[in-house]
Amino acid sequence: MKQSILAMAVAAILTGGASAATTQAEVNEALRGSPDIYNGLFTAALIYHVSRTCPDIRGPNRLTRTTYLLSLYNRARSMGFSRSQIEAFVEDDVEKARMQELVDQHLQRDGVADPYSEADICAFARAQMAEGTAIGRQLRER
């Protein structure tokens, strides 16, 4: 009996615990449902969209970005998901489109008429920086 419990515990550790019998759709749903992870990815996506659309604005430096994304990755790993499951979630085209739609909706709610207009996004970024919002504190003029 002791050996079977020990064997199950070792198997759970080696296979990533809950992720062993989890489909990628279930992984995606769990990560999407985790506010810490999904809000963190949303923040990164919004900053990326702003810095990509407005050439005068840049986001955090590479070390800051890497540290931030690594913290999100570690949270997902602590939920029991493997590296490949997390990467599949982040690289999934449906998830990327869903996240971009959330970014677009957020920008429009904040008064940005066209989320793909350089002028509109630059104005949004400068307003965020002037107000000292969480997003604005991550942005800099080039």
Locate 55 and state its tokens. Answer: 């050439």
Say what the pLDDT of residue 22 is. Answer: 83
pLDDT digits (tens, 9 = 90+) for 61-118: 999 999 999 999 999 999 999 999 999 999 999 999 999 999 999 999 999 999 999 9
Closest by CA position to 108, among listed 122, 96, 124, 97: 124
| Residue 70 identity | L
For residue 14, give every residue at least 6 positions away whose Cβ sits within 8 Å of its Cβ, in sequence order, or none: none
Say what the pLDDT of residue 20 is. Answer: 52
The whole model's pTM is what? 0.81
How far apart, in Å, are the Cα atoms of 24 and each of 27, 98, 117, 122? 5, 16, 35, 37
